[in-house]
Chain A
């Protein structure tokens, strides 16, 4: 789960997940100290914010999969003045169902519903913004959706997280003219 982030804080994460061998010479010591110091200096985030971020990342991921906390690792490395945060989270298993969401059998039905809702939903997205009456575009789907940079690998998770019961029923939606 590599995340490319703006400069992040190393100090705290380093303390939490100490890595590397203990330096021996004063040259190694000073180099190591500087690397930690600069990762700290280069970020504009406070340690508190970084700790919150770490907890939230773990929280979100644990919602879907079981993580092995023993072997989880956050590390920050500097590559040509860009700091890269890498979260290494070994997955023990997939959670059977997502808390707060319909159980397995309900999900199966829900999936069918979602699929039914998806098809007109997709064709509803206007291809060109010009000439489309303002009321046509669904508020959740801006004209340029999906953007070029969107990571589609997450779509499965997003679909599952949407309770189909809260979606408007396309067949009764007056605007669904297609």
Chain B
């Protein structure tokens, strides 16, 4: 049985595509046949994060129109042969595909791939409904900010309403130093509020942006230093997806001295 997982968030720019690219890659590295599906029609960028943008010939739209076969649209990753991308069309709108068509496409993929990750667009409209239509599980991505958490909560409600009860939370872009100073919600705060099981905590890390620039997912990096804590966090999510119990990374900043703590005690509230 293949697993069909939608990566979604409500709010834009919180890291859905970053997660889809890295989790897809990490699953492939572990020997699974993985297809990542870009459901962000009109604003595709999963291809960019994977560095596959120059190799796209056909997209899901041509497949659905019968202009090419599904295999012809799949872009194989040369660095990781277990991974393929099904690109979205860039010159169409989100209404160019229907939930039924998405289900058909993904169903066809289940014949070959054991993991299918669907990268959802932001929002709760047609594009979102298309992305969740084939999914059996969901990864809800949020950052520890008020608007992102609010939107994530809305998404959890909509997933439930659409029969997706298996939803896990990824909290992205945690800034440990800010949490320690009570300037940002902690992982526990966010998880408590959203009340769905936590599967990953990814620190805010410049390495994520560098890897995006290069079109090389963080988890591809050969040495652990290059992958950084964010890369490790993403690999841990994949292990948890596969049922392993992996402790969450300790993201608390190094303990500071007595004076610093004393100063914090008397600082003006922010």
Chain A 46-81, CB-CB to B under 8 Å as 1, else 0, gives 000000000000000000000000000000001011
Contact A25 B193 (CB under 8 A): no
* B154 contacts the other chain (CB 8 A): yes
A136 contacts the other chain (Cβ, under 8 Å)?
no
Quick check: B150 and A34 within 8 Å, CB to CB?
yes
Residue of B nearest to A82 (CB): B195
One of A36-44, A99-107, A114-122 contacting the partner: A36-44
A161 to chain B, nearest CB (A): 39
Q: State whether B146 touches A25 (Cβ < 8 A).
A: no
**Cα distance A42–B153 in the bound complex, in angstroms:** 8
User: In angstroms, how far is the closest chain B Cβ from the Cβ of A23?
Assistant: 9
Most-contacted residue by chain B among A24, A27, A28 (CB, 10 A): A27
Instruction: Judge whether A25 and B269 touch: CB under 8 Å.
Output: yes
A-B interface contact total, Cβ < 8 Å: 44
Residues in A neighbouring B189, C-beta threshold 8 A:
27, 31
Complex alpha-carbon distance, A25 and B269, angstroms: 5
Interface centre among A26, A33, A80 (most CB of B within 10 A): A26
> Given A78-B195, A80-B195 in contact, is the A37-B182 Cβ separation under 8 Å?
no
- Is A26 in contact with B153, judged by CB distance below 8 angstroms? no
Residue in B closest to A29 when the chains form the complex, CB atoms: B269
Q: Does A176 contact B (CB under 8 A)?
A: no
B182 & A34 in contact (Cβ 8 Å cutoff): no
Most buried by B among A24, A30, A34, A35: A34
Do A33 and B146 have beta carbons less than 8 Å apart? yes
Whether B67 sits at the interface, judged by CB under 8 Å, is: no
Complex contact B150–A37 (CB within 8 A) = yes
Contact in complex: B184, A27 (CB < 8 Å): yes
B87 to chain A, nearest CB (A): 34
Q: Are A41 and B153 in contact (CB under 8 A)?
A: yes
In the assembled complex, the Cα of A38 lies from the Cα of B150 at a distance in Å of 7
Q: Complex: how many Å from CA A25 to CA B189?
A: 14
B181 to A: closest C-beta gap in Å: 8
**Minimum C-beta distance from B160 to chain A (A):** 8
What's the nearest-Cβ distance from chain B to residue A148, in Å? 27
Shortest CB-to-CB span from A45 to chain B, Å, is: 15
Residues of chain A with a CB closer than 8 A to B186's CB: 27
- B182 in contact with A25 (CB, 8 Å): yes
Which one of B149, B183, B196 contacts A26 once the chains associate, using CB atoms below 8 Å?
B183
Task: List the A side residues contacting B193 at CB < 8 Å.
Answer: 31, 34-35, 38
Cα-based distance from A26 to B184 in the complex (angstroms)? 7
Tell me whether B12 is interfacial, beta carbon within 8 Å: no
Tell me the smallest distance from the CB of B132 to a CB of chain A, in Å.
Answer: 18
The interface residues of chain A lying within 8 Å CB-to-CB of B183 are 25-27
Residues 119 to 161 of chain B near chain A (Cβ within 8 Å): 146, 149-150, 153-154, 156-157
Given known contacts A26-B270, A27-B182, A27-B189, what 16 new A-B pairs fall within 8 Å (CB)? A24-B269, A26-B182, A26-B183, A27-B179, A27-B183, A27-B185, A28-B182, A31-B189, A33-B146, A34-B149, A34-B185, A35-B193, A37-B146, A41-B150, A42-B153, A80-B195
Sorted from nearest, which 5 A-B pairs have the closest CB atoms?
A25-B182, A27-B182, A81-B195, A80-B195, A24-B269
What are 18 A-B contacts defined by CB distance under 8 Å? A25-B182, A26-B183, A26-B269, A27-B183, A27-B184, A27-B185, A27-B186, A30-B146, A31-B185, A34-B193, A35-B193, A38-B150, A38-B193, A41-B153, A42-B153, A42-B157, A78-B195, A81-B196
